[in-house]
Amino acid sequence: MTSHPPGTAGTATTTFSVGGEFPVSRVGFGAMRLSTDPGPERDAAIAVARHAVEAGVTLIDTAHLYGWGANEELLAEALHPYPDDLLITTKVGVTRTGPEGWAYDARPESLREQVEQGLRRLRIERVGLLQLHRIDPDVPLAEQIGALHELRQEGKIGHIGLSEVTAAQLAEARQTTEIASVQNRYNLLEREYEPVLDACEAAGIAFLPWRPVAAATPGPAAALDAVAAELDATTPQVLLAWLLARSPVVLPIPGTSSTAHLDENLAAADFRLTESQRKRLDETASRPVT
């Protein structure tokens, strides 16, 4: 990569303390794309996971849903025993209903069993950050969060997070227990959850946007390409840099099955947008009314 134009690159806040306990790199890694099939693809996936840690990633995101535990097992095979500074977060709250089917299941007994299974697969006694993958509409939210709170009191969970929630649901959950993170779909072009991010920032809660890099339509693509050219960056790097600039609580978790792509994503932390560039990018999509 060539040198950056003056005033456009630098080191912003590069870490965030999740739950006040885990200082992690702000660009994490989403493990969902790693292949768990036997053979060369699995070997490559293990190499990518190991490369992520070697490259300085200290936050890796997985879930029970990803291969119904196979993704967790892959990470354990690749990385256990884990470095002291590595936070692996997993998610529970959905169950398998058939070869291709799944359903919400956040009944307290189901959450307990899913957490126990995750601990076994990850080969740990305590998961540092456990996120509720989806709120089960058939179970009172207080019961779902209460079950996770009990597991935290037992020492099986360090911190509790939520995924795909509204600001109102976040506020309701916080009445039952402390919430350390929120993982919602969010990127430059998809900002439905702007109010949730604002609530997280106000409370010091980590916000992990999934699908942080989105395909742009012609109008936004032109603006992105222009800024990328000014920074000597790729378009995905600009999208990640925008997220990092949006709020200090934002921790993007881009996923990939390629070490080269992984390095490209991590390098986004080296870019700093000017105010003019941020304004032009912000104008590519309207902010929602709050």
Distance CA 119, CA 157 (A): 10
The whole-number pLDDT of residue 17 equals 98
- Say if 9 falls within a structural domain: no
Task: Give residue 156's domain range.
Answer: 16-211
- The model's confidence at residue 285, banded by pLDDT at 50, 70 and 90, is low
Q: Is residue 266 part of a domain?
A: no
pTM (two decimals): 0.92
Six-digit token string for 178: 């402390």
- Render pLDDT for 172-185 as a digit per residue (tens, 0 to 9): 999 999 999 999 99
Structural domain contains residue 282 = no
Q: What mean pLDDT do residues 159-163 have?
A: 98
Which tens digits make up the pLDDT trace of 197-236? Answer: 999 999 999 999 999 998 777 778 999 999 999 999 999 9
Give domain status of residue 164, yes or no.
yes
* Predicted pLDDT of residue 8: 37
Residue numbers annotated as active site: 66
So what's the pLDDT on residue 12?
54
At 42, which CATH number? 3.20.20.100
User: From CA 103, how far away is CA 220, in angstroms rounded?
Assistant: 35
- Split at pLDDT 50, 70, 90, the class of 171 is very high
Answer yes or no: is 58 within a domain. yes
pLDDT digits (tens, 9 = 90+) for 122-135: 999 999 999 999 99
Q: Are 65 and 93 in contact (CB under 8 A)?
A: no
Confidence at residue 214, expressed as pLDDT on a 0 to 100 scale: 82
Is residue 114 a part of any domain in this protein? yes
How large is the average pLDDT for residues 78-83?
Answer: 98
Residue 22 above 60 pLDDT?
A: yes
Domain count along the chain: 1
The pLDDT of residue 100 is 78
4 alpha carbon, distance to own chain's centre: 28
Kindly state whether residue 225 falls inside one of the protein's structural domains. no
Q: What is the pLDDT of residue 97?
A: 87
Residue among 30, 33, 25, 75 at smallest CA distance from 55? 25
Tally of CA atoms within 13 A in the half-sphere of 77 that contains its CB: 17
